Structure 1
Amino acid sequence: MQFGEHILPYKEQILRDLKTLVAIPSVVSEAVPGKPFGAESARALETILNMAEELGLETKNVGNYAGHAIYGTGSEFADVLCHVDVVPAGDGWKTDPFKTVEKNGLLYGRGTADDKGAAVVALYCLKALKDAGVQTKRRIRVIFGGGEEVASNDIDTYYAAESMPVFGFTPDSEYGICNREKGILRLDLTGGKAPTAVRHFTAGIVVNAVPAKAEAVVVCTMEQSAALMDLAGGDKAFSFTKTPDGLCIGAEGVASHAMQPQEGVNAAAKLLMLLSKVLNSAELGSLLYFLSEKIQTSYDGSLVGLKQSDAPSGPLTLNLGLVRVGEGVSRAGLDIRYPVTAKGDDILAKMQQACAPYGLACTRTNESLPLYLPEDSDFIRLLKGSYAAVMGTEPNVYATGGGTYARELKGRGVAFGPFFPDEPDRRLHNTNENIDLSRFFLHAQICLQAMYDMATK
């Protein structure tokens, strides 16, 4: 039986509520009392829980860390994990990032793809189950997190207060079934000698995205200034402006998610490499000199001895996501996605070894351990059946460098949807984030079928 089609009558309500949710700029900000991820994240969570209540569903807010909506009866839970926080909009949008705008079958807006669209679909899947009067073996629960984009403790805090499910999935990746997620290691590089020529260097908004812009102000001679401009040549990605503080150099790149840094162009790395061709180590300072020698524009960690790969999950990737130098600050943030058979401790030790000769400290700020759920498990078979009921063929299983809530299920779940692998890479943390509406509602059918199967089988 194909139950997934029951979601299609709710198209208009889904798009209406998605518009409301996208309009909330729910970027995680400084905690305030009762709102651990800031006011806008809490507002987005409260908004979607209010929507659920209006649909007649049971809801709960766990301290504005996360909340849930539930349908069905039974002593067990099956979960769908979504999030309502988003990354910053960034520059270069052709539409207002916090308004849904439809053009040529695409719906633009920050969060449409990651992850508000999937969250609203999962909510209406509960509504479809309720309206159809489906009798369940277990309760189906949709969880909405408030701090996923900052690798926070939102779901940890939720599950400390609420029961763990027997299984679950997160629609925050792509189809088929992601049963392997690389480890995620985030490192801060700090300290060393301050630069003598670079007044400031700034790049990146979040560590888990390839920086699309970078800027430096350099105090240099006329000869050095001319050399920098000459080396830039006709590359329109660079701009030069003479200011009272020095030569201001801007660089533009292409944003991408840190799980696939090869899909972007790192503006910080571009600017570093330009400066390193003219300025010496003292003029650059310890941190920028290290980055220009040991990171460069590579994304495989080869220059610090980190290059590695395994059969289940593929190669290690390294993203230089943040650089802040100037006014007493010297810091760079790295986001490393490592194979499921590797160990974060080993990677940290190698990076510390590489940093030591430059007088830099390397500290681990966050780590998410790898996920690996065998393909022959009962739950993988269930999801394969759900997908096949809608699509007519079984999905493949695959590995990702992305980090999803599936890790929080501790071997009970995977990432599943909402995107299809042949869709253009216009999603996730990119400028002009959007969804293909025809594919979006195909996902909605698969999602409902999977939720129906989890609740009844």
Structure 2
Amino acid sequence: MLFGTEILKYRDEILKDLADLIAVPSVRGEALPGKPFGEEPARALAMVLYKAQKMGLAVKNVDNYAGHAEYGSGNEAAAVAAHVDVVPAGEGWDSDPFTLTRKGNLYFGRGTADDKGAAVVALYCLKALKDAGVKGNRRLRVIFGSGEETGMEDLHYYFQKEEMPVMGFTPDSDYGICNREKGILRLNLLSKEKQPSVIKELEAGVVYNAVPDHARTVLSCSGQSADALKEAAKTAQGEFTFKSVPDGLQIVSKGKAAHAMQPQSGFNAAAALIRLLSSVFSPEELGAFCSFLDQSIGFCYDGSGIGVQQSDEQSGPLTLNLGILRLENGQAKAGIDIRYPVTSDGGPIFSEISRRAEEAGLSAELLEDGKPLYLPGDSKLISILQDSYACVTGKPAELYATGGGTYARAMKGNAVAFGPFFPDEPDRRLHNTNESIDIDRFMIHAQICLEAMYRMLTA
């Protein structure tokens, strides 16, 4: 029996509730009392839990870090984990990023693909199971996080208060089944003291896990240097605009955003701007910090410039992303996101970067070392998910590795990433402009999701 098709009757309701959730610009903001990720992520979490409560599901909000909706009874729980926070919208959208906008088969909006669409579908899967009166062998939860995009502190906190599921998945990646997730290393490179530089201020990026599509600097330089920069920009990698401002010369660098797990698919506006400046100014004029970034990171997305290039057969090569850059009043910070192979260790990688930074007169600050995830292919969960996928699509679900970091790793080896997108789908522009879902393809995902949840509940 295929239970997954039951979700199709809820298509219109799914789209309506998705529109409501997209309208909440749930980008992390300043922490407030009782709202660790700011006002809007808390509002999105409250909204989805309210919708669950109206469906007659048991709900719980765990201090606005995360919450869950639950169906069924039993001593143990299975879970689907999704998130309702989003990365900033960025520039260049063809429609309002916080209005669900239909164009043919596509629905556009920040969070449609990552991860509000999947969150709403998972909620309606619980409703479908409840409406059908399905009896299971355990409880089934949909966990909604509100801080996934900025470090996944949300689920780490949630699981300090709530039980760990015996099995689960997160629909926040691709099909088939991601049973290998690279380690995630996040760090800051910092200037130790104020350094003389032609740069008065420089800013790029807002999160570690995205390639910055915009960078801006203000320089204190001569007219001759300004002319040299404009001439160099004609043949440099990137797109630049120049403007005289009261404080000096402003340069804006335009790039292309991408997820940090695939930095090579974007174009780093910060790296391009530093490279342009390095082509005109000497290291003494530019300052040790930007000189180090240009020589040791630049456009080297594989870590080779800073001595940490590596790869393994199970998960592929290390990737490195310069996600955040701030320089002002002689103080500097660069935020780095590294995805390292599943057979590697983040400790030696950070040690090598720290050593090189110290040699250049800088310091390195470790923010996070999320250990890799590797779930064997013969596990019960893998079997359930493979059977669910095959029942809906008629095709096998292959096992694969990713550089992405998902909620699966927060569930201590009991979960994997599973869906919602298919290998033959075009780029859904995650973390970029014009993020979208193809509704027909997404409803195939919805059937797979319901079938997998049904089997986790009843297995």
Identity across aligned pairs (percent)?
A: 58
Q: For residues 17 and 129 of structure 2, what CA distance do their matches in structure 1 show?
A: 18
Partners of 1:208 and 1:335 within 8 A in 2: yes
CA distance in structure 2 between the aligned counterparts of 1:443 and 1:389, rounded to whole angstroms: 12
Displacement of 1:240: 1.0
1:92 maps to 92
1:361 is matched with 363
Shift of residue 234 of structure 1? 6.4
The CA RMSD over aligned residues, in Å, is 1.2
Partner of 2:143: 143
Report the equivalent of 1:223. Answer: 224
Counterpart-to-counterpart distance in 1, 2:157 and 2:357: 35
8 Å contact kept, 1:203–1:268: yes
1:282-361 residue pairs with structure 2 within 5 A?
282-361=284-363
Contact 1:71 1:139 in 2 (8 A): yes
Pairwise CA distance, 1:266: 0.3
Match of 1:265 in 2: 267
- 1:39-188 matches, cutoff 5 A: 39-188=39-188
Equivalent pair of 1:170/1:404 in contact (CA under 8 Å): yes
Structure-1 residue corresponding to 2:455: 453
Checking the alignment, whether the CA contact within 8 Å between 1:194 and 1:330 is kept in structure 2 is no
Q: What TM-score does the superposition give when structure 1 sets the normalisation length? A: 0.98
Instruction: Give distance in 2, aligned partners of 1:407 and 1:244.
Output: 49
Corresponding residue SS for 1:126: helix
Which residue in 2 is equivalent to 1:201? 202
1:411 aligns with 2:416: no
CA contact (8 A) 2:197 2:330 kept: no
1:200 touches 1:217 (CA, 8 Å); kept in 2? Answer: yes
CA distance in 2, matches of 1:25, 1:142: 21
- Residues 320, 334 of structure 1: 8 Å contact kept: yes
Aligned positions, number = 457
Partner of 1:191: 191
Shift of 1:413: 0.6
Q: Which runs of 5+ in 2 are unaligned?
A: none
Cα distance per residue 1:300-359 (max 9 Å; x no partner): 010111110001110000000011001343100000000011111100011011111211
Pick aligned residue for 2:257 from 240, 245, 255: 255
For residues 208-236 of structure 1, the C-alpha deviation after alignment (integer angstroms, 9 at most, x for no partner) is 10000111111222222121111111677
Q: Which runs of 4+ in 1 moved over 4 A?
A: none
Per-residue CA deviation, residues 401-453 of structure 1 (Å, 9 max, x unaligned), is 00000001111110000111221223321111111111111100000000001
CA distance in 2, matches of 1:244, 1:428: 37
Find out whether 1:280 has 2:276 as its counterpart. Answer: no
The answer (yes or no) to whether the contact 1:427–1:435 under 8 Å persists in 2 is: no
- Alpha-carbon contact 1:114-1:427 (below 8 Å) kept: no
Asked whether the 8 Å contact 2:26–2:84 carries over to 1, the reply is yes
Deviation digits for residues 160-184 of structure 1 (CA, Å, limit 9, x no counterpart): 2111111000000010000000000
Amino acid at match of 1:113: A
Q: Tell me, yes or no, if the aligned pair for 2:188 and 2:365 is still in contact at 8 Å.
A: yes
The DSSP-based 3-state class of the residue aligned with 2:446 is: helix
